[in-house]
Amino acid sequence: MPESEKVRSHILPEDRDFSFRLDDISLGVNDKLPLSANFSTDSLSSHHRCLLVYDIPDDGKRNKVADACLDYGLDRIQYSAFLGKLQPTHMEELMLKITKILGKKPAKVLLIPICLDDWGKHKFIERVG
């Protein structure tokens, strides 16, 4: 099979266990500050994997949100999707920053924390060519 057609599965080594719950987040035009999070207190200093995806029609706002994600060390994995590790307080901080960036413009932003067990099961396909 040519290198460009190989399917790679990435499984990262195990990290510290953590628990994290984030209530539904919607950053629609009529929303007030919608962030409501319950973070575990047993490992607040550790970084947690998270996926941030968005649908933002306004080009300027979308670019500013993308820049904010990059500023927080997230890696762009698709045009509107970022993946990385953040401390729980930085997750909240990033969502607050995005809320301010968006103002009253319509948008959907979803921050999904990924537990260690689920991260260990993820699959990744990359075709180079």
Q: What is the DSSP letter of 73?
A: T
The second-level CATH assignment, the architecture, of 1-9+56-129 is 2-Layer Sandwich (3.30)
pLDDT of residue 4: 39
> To the nearest whole percent, how much of the chain has pLDDT over 90?
52
Q: What is the pLDDT of residues 99-114, one digit of tens each?
A: 999 999 999 999 999 9
Q: What is the pLDDT of residues 4-41, one digit of tens each?
A: 333 333 333 344 333 333 333 333 433 333 343 333 43
Q: Among candidates 63, 101, 60, which has minimal Cα distance to 80? A: 63
Give the residue extent of every domain in the chain: 1-9+56-129
CA distances from 119 to 36, 51, 84 (A): 23, 11, 11
Give how far the C-alpha of residue 64 lies from the chain's centroid of Cα atoms, to the nearest Å. Answer: 15
Entry pTM: 0.64
| pLDDT bracket for residue 116 (50, 70, 90) | confident
Q: Among candidates 32, 33, 25, which has minimal Cα distance to 54? A: 25
Burial of 41 (0-12, 13-18, 19+ CB in 10 A): exposed
